[in-house]
Amino acid sequence: MTYHLPALPYDYAALEPYIDQTTMKLHHDRHHQTYVNNLNQALENYPAAANWSLEQLLTNWEDLPDKIATAVRNSGGGHANHSFFWETLTPEFDQALPSNLQAALEETFGSVAEFKRQFSTAAASVFGSGWAWLVHDEDGQLLITTTANQDSPLMLDQQPLLGLDVWEHAYYLKYQNQRPAYIEAFWHVINWGKVAERFEQSN
């Protein structure tokens, strides 16, 4: 299978003032494209995985030959995480939460405000590069987790519902070292309809 860079579902400038046009263009066209290129290159000499989906590659990456396992983990994870991330964002700012998702967050975390607080704290606490996630775990529980580098929750048998990229390439041009300001901006551009759709599909 040859993987391709998905088109953004909105213009590069559509998320301003929260995420700037230059960052979006570099993040999508260069960083994400590099993950796609490196993944395809790693799989060229492994025809046994030619028909595997990206999720199959990530959930079985430790079973792959040593020669390509790390590349699949890093670049496959990068491709999956970023494809997921673009769909998480929307230029329809400050969306209301669908009732089913709101109820689930309130049941698990006590309130939506407490969920946001815990998620923001997790995102701010990632050391170096990585991601913060809201996931459904294998027992069907909602959890806030983090992963290092481009590791995907799929590698841990978790279904991601919401993810925030806290690599510096995602925010440094606008926010410099102020990661908490970037995290705060993220709450304005979340496509809660898409998150709720993922929630329903993972139940």
At residue 16, what are phi and psi to the nearest 5 degrees? -70, 145
Q: Which CATH architecture has domain 99-202?
A: 3-Layer(bab) Sandwich (3.55)
Is 28 annotated in a binding site? The answer is no
Structure-model confidence comparison of residues 85 and 64, the more confident one? 85
Q: Residue ranges of the domains in the chain?
A: 21-88, 99-202
1 pLDDT tier (thresholds 50, 70, 90):
confident
- Mean pLDDT over residues 140-166, rounded? 96
Domain 21-88 and domain 99-202, same fold? Reply is no
39 pLDDT higher than 90: yes
What average pLDDT does this structure show over 94-106? 97
Angstrom CA distances, 76 to 58, 71, 177, stand at: 7, 7, 27
In whole angstroms, give the CA distance from residue 166 to residue 38. Answer: 21
32 marked ligand binding residue: no
The single residue listed with the structure tokens 């088109």 is: 7
pLDDT at site 203? 81
Average pLDDT score, the chain = 96
CATH architecture of 21-88: Orthogonal Bundle (1.10)
CB proximity list for 145: less than 8 A, separation 6 or greater: 122, 132, 133, 135, 153, 156, 158
Q: Is 169 annotated as a binding residue?
A: yes
Say yes or no to pLDDT of 101 above 90.
yes
* Bridge partners, 66 (sequence order): none
pLDDT at 56: 93
Task: Return the pLDDT at 49.
Answer: 82
Q: What confidence score (pLDDT) does residue 125 get?
A: 97
Summarize pLDDT for 42-67 with one digit per residue, the tens.
999 888 887 889 999 999 999 899 88
